[in-house]
Amino acid sequence: MSTRYESAKAIYAKLGIDTDAVIAKLKEIPVSLHCWQGDDVTGFDHDGPLTGGIQTTGNYPGKARTPDELMADIDKVISLCPGKLKLNLHACYAIFEPGQFVDRDKLEPKHFAKWVEFAKARGMGIDFNPTFFSHPKVKDGLSLTSPDEETRKFWVEHGKACIRISEYFARETGIPCVMNIWIGDGFKDVPADRMGPRLRYKKSIEEIIAEPHDPKLVKPCVESKVFGIGVESYTAGSAEFTLTFAATHENVLPLMDNGHYHPTEVVSDKIPALLCYFPEIALHITRGVRWDSDHVLLLDDETKEMAKEIVRCNALDRVYMALDYFDASINRISAWTVGVRSWKKALLAAMLTPHEQLKKLQDNAEFSELMVRMEEVKMLPLGDVWEEFCRQCGTTECGWFDEVKKYEKEVLSKRK
Ligand code: RNT
Ligand code: ZN
């Protein structure tokens, strides 16, 4: 224990905050690590481009090309990140035998056995995402909303296969699997029919979740989005659509990705709104720059505000937290690590805030003092507690980038 930590501990104790207890709690909060940062959302089941209205930009050398490379990279990230992680997989990361190919509607648990082995060996749970994009059967940009029944059915079958795989993940790891449904379906220009695709989407999700599963093990979510590249005028899975779907279907969670709203809307304000109604909600945590650009998460104001809402709503066990960004312009190990650390720092900052005292000031309409106290909190020695958390987890705040550079030199730079 450092003297810096000793001094910080005393300062927080005066505010009624037990830093030792906070550190112990932070260690146990799992953050779901998106496998797709490692290979620019490519996956292993296709050679085509990334579609669905999302895009990676940049061609920094060293992206993972095989399951072994991706796993090695994730291991590197795990070694650099303090605290618990969960693994977040997409269906396109299925691992086939050499020469084998299985289409998405026919995927089986066995195609993810290697990932289960990987997760179990590291004590991690697994979250899952059906991949409704980057595939030739997305017809005219549409999957679950397609007016072509054969196409729609194919994607429904994919969703059902993913429910079965999600349950397999949960049973194998002993940790519930959050299964997130996101589709990029939409139109570039003014649509002639906005309701038709949404009614088909509704029917499709209903067919998918009708696949038998234990709601304690599989947590289906629906993720909304305001627009995507090439689908600027309309997306079927809008905020109103997905939120209402989750609200009207038992055991379906709403998933908010904070890159998926108009730029002045904030998910921090939406978290407590949803928590008034839903027993559990899910998040994709990202950083949009001017639009849903999926930049690496940093410890910025809105990130801190989102964490603050989860903590002060006492909802750490009601919110599934996953990272979702993809930067191909910088070292991918570094991108992953910065994002994980940023979210954990935001949680720590939130847990080191005297929320009860601040709430009381608000309820007593003592707004002058509230403003002053909130500003004081910003100057508290958060960094010293973070350093102690890192130390207890076998790492430090500064120094890990040298490891990244070494790994780049020894491993990533050889991937030509
Ligand atoms: C896209 C959504 C979605 C994807 C992942 C890869 O805008 O955020 O969650 O990022 O499924
Ligand atoms: Zn997302």
pLDDT at 47: 87
Cα(138)–Cα(231) distance, integer angstroms: 14
Residue 414 in any domain: the answer is: no
Residue 42 in any domain: the answer is: yes
Q: Is 294 a catalytic residue?
A: yes
Cα(277)–Cα(177) distance, integer angstroms: 21
Residue 330 in any domain: the answer is: yes
Q: pLDDT digit string (tens) for 40-80?
A: 999 999 988 999 999 999 999 999 999 999 999 999 999 99
Domain that holds residue 221: 28-351
Burial of 67 per CB tally in 10 Å (0-12, 13-18, 19+): middle
CA–centroid distance, 32 to ligand 2, in Å, is 12
Residue 71 in any domain: the answer is: yes
Q: At what angle do helices 113-121 and 67-80 cross, to 10 degrees?
A: 20
Residue 126 in any domain: the answer is: yes
Q: How many CB atoms lie within 10 A of CB 17?
A: 18
Q: What angle do CA 31, 27, 63 make, to 5 degrees?
A: 40
Q: Is 213 a catalytic residue?
A: no
What single letter denotes the amino acid at residue 158? H
Cα(80)–Cα(396) distance, integer angstroms: 9
Residue 185 in any domain: the answer is: yes
Residue 118 in any domain: the answer is: yes
Whether the CB of 41 sits within 6 Å of ligand 1: yes
Structural domain total, the chain: 1
Q: Is 139 a catalytic residue?
A: no
CATH number at residue 344: 3.20.20.150
CA–centroid distance, 58 to ligand 1, in Å, is 18
Q: Is 185 a catalytic residue?
A: no
Cα(129)–Cα(363) distance, integer angstroms: 42
- The residue behind tokens 């349950």 is 167
Whether the CB of 388 sits within 6 Å of ligand 1: no
Q: pLDDT digit string (tens) for 87-119?
A: 999 999 999 999 999 999 999 999 999 999 999
Q: pLDDT digit string (tens) for 367-410?
A: 999 999 999 999 999 999 999 999 999 999 999 999 999 999 99
268 CA to centre of own chain: 15
**CA nearest ligand 1 atom 10, residue:** 324
**CA nearest ligand 1 atom 2, residue:** 182
Residue 222 in any domain: the answer is: yes
